[in-house]
Structure formats: C-alpha cells, structure tokens
C-alpha cells in the first residue's frame, strides 16, 4: 500500500489469472467479491447487491431494501482488459463531492497485477464525516486498509475462477 501526499492511496494485489479474466471478475462479479457488512455496504449485513454497469458512463451502485439504491459513482474510463476508472461517493458526500478510483490490470509473471488508486481526497474537508476524525496519512491509511480488504476478497474469487493451481 502506498499513501500519497494527503490525496491518494494505492493498493495492489497479484492474481494468477490472465488480465482479461481478472478484469472480468473485478467488473462482472463485483457483488461476489465486494465484502458485506456495515464497513463495506450501505445495507450492512442485509442482502443488498453491488452492481457495476460495464461500459463508459455506467453506474456502480448498491441496491438494497426493496428497490432503494445508493449510487457510488459512474464509470469514467473503460479500456478492457487494461484499465477502468469510476467516480466514488460516500453516502455522506454532498452534491459535488467526489473522488476517483482507477483500476489497472497488468500482466506479470503468468498472472495479473491489479493496482487500485483512490484519489481526490484533498478536495474533501478534514472535518468531513467520511474521515471519522482522521486526517492526512492516518485517514489515507484507513482507506488503504479498506481497499486492501476488498482486494483480498477479489483475489480469492479470481483464484477460484482461475481453476487448479490459481491463487
């Protein structure tokens, strides 16, 4: 995990599948690897579902409670199987507050290195509720740990998708 100067965090994971397979698992099976529980989903432990519309301009959202949804963001870059990016909004963000998540898939040693960078935090005030009282590198460290947990779940699902010897 790398923490930027109060603006971004970068987390990487290696999976033993081809970039196209890693990209497909990440984007098409997001509900299977995105962790459940109140730290990761608006619906908490309820049976909400994460969705990513796999196209430029597509939405990423969580549907829960009989038709309610929280739109996390929208896809702003779409270059399968190498890269995609989306805007990201916490449920506590107000209109106009947004950050950006870039995800890259690079072939490495017979598998894929997936690198996720979440940036734009310098535009979010230090006293914002999303920060839970933390600023600077302490806050970004927490965001990095949050994404690291999600990428661990992604890696486990990608390993299962890769067949025998994957992971």
Burial of 69 (0-12, 13-18, 19+ CB in 10 A): middle
pTM of the model: 0.87
Q: What is the pLDDT at residue 74?
A: 96
Query: In sequence order, which residues have a C-beta less than 8 Å from that of residue 14 and are 6 or more positions away?
Result: 108, 109, 111, 112, 113, 114, 155
Q: What is the pLDDT at residue 54?
A: 97
Q: What is the pLDDT at residue 166?
A: 41
Q: What is the pLDDT at residue 1?
A: 60
CA distances (Å), origin 70, targets 43, 48, 92, 167:
9, 10, 11, 32
Nearest to 107 by CA among 115, 119, 99: 115
Q: What is the dihedral of CA 152, 153, 157, 158, to 10 degrees?
A: -30
Q: What is the pLDDT at residue 64?
A: 87
Q: How many Å apart are CA 127 and CA 63, to the nearest integer?
A: 28
Name the stretches of the chain with pLDDT < 50.
163-167
DSSP state string for 94-137 = PTT--EEEEEEEEEETTEEEEEEEEE-GGGS-TT-GGGTT--HH
């Amino acid at each position: 995990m790398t923490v930027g100067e109060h603006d971004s965090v970068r987390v990487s994971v290696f999976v033993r599948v081809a970039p196209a397979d890693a990209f497909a698992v990440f984007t098409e099976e997001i509900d299977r690897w995105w962790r459940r529980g109140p730290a990761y989903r608006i619906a908490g432990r309820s049976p909400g579902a994460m969705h990513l519309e796999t196209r430029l301009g597509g939405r990423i959202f969580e549907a829960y409670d009989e038709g309610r949804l929280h739109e996390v963001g929208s896809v702003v870059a779409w270059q399968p199987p190498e890269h995609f990016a989306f805007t990201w909004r916490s449920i506590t963000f107000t209109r106009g507050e947004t950050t950006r998540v870039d995800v890259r898939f690079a072939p490495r040693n017979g598998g894929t290195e997936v690198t996720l960078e979440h940036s734009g935090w310098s535009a979010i005030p230090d006293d914002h509720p999303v920060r839970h009282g933390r600023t600077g590198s302490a806050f970004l460290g927490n965001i990095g740990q949050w994404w690291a947990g999600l990428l661990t779940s992604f890696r486990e699902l990608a390993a299962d998708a890769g067949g025998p010897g994957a992971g």
